[in-house]
Structure 1
Amino acid sequence: MALFTSFSSIAHGIDDATKQFLESIEGAAILPFIYIGAKHMLTGYDHLLFLLGVVFFLFRGKDVLLYVSLFTLGHSLTLLYGVFSNIDVNPYIIDAIIGLSVVYKGFDNLGGFQRLFNCQPNTKVAVTIFGLFHGFGLATKIQEFQLPSNGLVTNIISFNVGVEIGQFLALAMVLIVLNFWRKHRSYLAFATLTNTAIMSAGFMLIGWQLTGYFIAAS
């Protein structure tokens, strides 16, 4: 139980050094919040796993741009709305839903909907909707702290800009690896194994977050 409590705290929280820094800020701090946003995205394995699933079978640049833009639009809207409107969302539950988004994309990439249900959900709509949940997940990170109203708008927008920078850097690294891998036969040969691993990681995230939720509630 102690292990799950510790891990779940890390999974949906912010490290102690960043926490101390945020709580000491007075006024606008553009560059620090950009850095914190970028750092959070680059170390946010749940967001990165979802993005990996989204771009795994996208071979054209314009398709990558479209889907990533839809995801960006979704999480930017709910990040800003969640913080400025002080929407109270349980961080464990929202992060469990983010884990579900990872499972969904891996399952979708495996053709699970067509094989089991003989249908195919609209992928663009799904990516946008899950982007909204990812944004609420990001908002819960900020809402854990009582940030002063002085400079709050500037700081939250800066955090969002940092998230987009981090996403761009992470996506660039993912695409470089994928483009290199796609030149080899092993790419399609291991596609099923890779997306099964993505699904498995998503289930683990769900389990960790729900465990954290029940421990916190007990």
Structure 2
Amino acid sequence: MITRIALRTLLLIAIAVWHIAPAQAHTRSESHTTWLVDGSSVHLTFSVTDVEARRLTPDGHTPATPRLIAYLAPRVGASAAGRVCAAAGRPRAVAAVTGYRRVEFFFNCPSSDGITLRDNAFFELVPTHVNLAQIQTAKGDFAEDVLTADTQTIDLSKAQGGRIEGAGFLTFVSMGLMHIFTGIDHMSFLLGLVLISRRFKDLVFVITGFTIGHSLTLALAVTGIIRPHAEFIDALVALTIALIGIENLAVQIHRPGLFAVWTGAGLLAMAGLKLLGIGLLPFTLLLGAGLFASNYLLVAGHVRDAGRLRLIVTLIFGLIHGFGFAADLLNDAIPPAKLAELLVGFNLGVEIGQLTVVTTLVAAVALLRRLRLTLPRPIVVDVCAAGLVLEGTYWFVSRSFSFI
């Protein structure tokens, strides 16, 4: 059986290190571009989330469409034969899924040879920003590339095949792996699941529930049956991290009622602010979250064997995280023929990533036991749980009121 003290010691080290990193949204700072190249004509569709667009305004409010266009216009474009492609007409906003903004640009190039695409948007605001660029030609050729602060242009003669259209099963598995390993909030939640699992059987229950939940909503989101609001999902993911930490503290000091009251009161207060027009999350969502959180903490604190209860609860948490897992895929053109392969491969990658984290953790715990590098269990539990509460609460409030 995993030594609880050693387990929490390792979690304390991991969380302490990760808290040094700057807070970031689950769906890392990113934008999407689709470039249609027809001879010497270039049609660009630039897509960005509302959360990302708010970086353009000092007060954190969603910028008006003219302001977004004014920002993008000098930062996107194309060139050919060493000459800049002229803008053809004025940029215009087009319809987008909930939580996204989309703008179209048109360019006429002096030649159809040696076309280079350029996107400099958002990199000066967020150095780690990435742009997922899809390039299509009138002949049906498809390619995809990733633009970063270091590489902000695409030479069409060197563009590689698209990650969706031309990807194989192993590519989808790799995408799922990277989604786990690059998502700090998902990793924090996973560590919270391990922290709250006092026995191996409990860990099996929570991982099983989480897997079932995120697999279900990943499929629903990617197939288009449900289109979640990106801002809501980011905030709710943060709330799940805080709740995992709060439950640990409630159980540790045997005061579930106190934590249930304060947690529910905090969420209901935010619901009240929403009635006054303050905040992003809907009133009904905050009200429901408050009722769920308070009742969950009360029940979990009085159930002797909470493992099976957590199977249900982590299934609900998994439903939320599943939409987060789908965020990177929702704006990609997913061919129907690739859909099943993508879902199975991506989900398999996520599961491999989760198991890798847990396996590595268990191995490290075994090493700590042999070296006798442990701390008193109550101290480790309190510090780790408090770290999760602070992290989750900061992200939840920040995302709910658009502070980040």
* TM-score where L is the length of structure 1: 0.81
RMSD: 3.0
Q: Distance in 2 between matches of 1:188 and 1:18?
A: 45
Within 5 A, what are the aligned runs for 1:154-169? 154-169=341-356
1:139 is aligned, of 326, 329, 333, to: 326
Task: Calculate percent identity across the aligned residue pairs.
Answer: 29
2:331 maps to a residue whose letter is: E
Is contact 1:28–1:152 with CA below 8 Å preserved after alignment?
A: no
Matched, 1:129 2:319: no
* Cα separation, partners in 2 of 1:54 and 1:188, compared to 1, 3 Å: same
Is contact 1:70–1:124 with CA below 8 Å preserved after alignment?
A: yes
1:119 Cα shift? 2.3
Matched, 1:200 2:390: yes
* Cα separation, partners in 2 of 1:36 and 1:56, compared to 1, 3 Å: same
Q: Give the structure with the larger strand fraction.
A: 2
Matched, 1:65 2:204: yes
1:45 is aligned, of 163, 180, 184, to: 184
Matched, 1:36 2:175: yes
Is contact 1:109–1:195 with CA below 8 Å preserved after alignment?
A: yes
Q: Distance in 1 between matches of 2:298 and 2:400?
A: 29
Instruction: Determine the structure 2 residue equivalent to 1:11.
Output: 28
* Offset from partner CA, 1:4-34 (integer Å, 9 cap, x none): xx95485375873766459823255211110
* Cα separation, partners in 2 of 1:174 and 1:52, compared to 1, 3 Å: same
1:114 is aligned, of 242, 256, 264, to: 256
* TM-score where L is the length of structure 2: 0.46
Q: Give the structure with the larger helix fraction.
A: 1
1:130 maps to a residue whose letter is: F
SS of the equivalent of 2:221 reads: helix
Q: Distance in 1 between matches of 2:30 and 2:368?
A: 33
Is contact 1:78–1:132 with CA below 8 Å preserved after alignment?
A: yes
2:319 maps to a residue whose letter is: L
Uncovered stretches (5+) of structure 1, i.e. residues with no partner: 1-5
Question: 121-130 or 179-188: which moved more?
Answer: 179-188
2:256 maps to a residue whose letter is: Q
Uncovered stretches (5+) of structure 2, i.e. residues with no partner: 1-22, 32-128, 134-143, 147-160, 261-296, 301-308
Structure with max Cα Rg: 2
Aligned length: 209
Q: Distance in 1 between matches of 2:28 and 2:343?
A: 21
1:147 Cα shift? 2.2
Structure with the larger RCO, 1 or 2 (CA within 8 Å, 6+ apart): 1
SS of the equivalent of 2:28 reads: helix
* Cα separation, partners in 2 of 1:95 and 1:9, compared to 1, 3 Å: closer
* Cα separation, partners in 2 of 1:209 and 1:155, compared to 1, 3 Å: same
Question: 91-100 or 184-193: which moved more?
Answer: 184-193
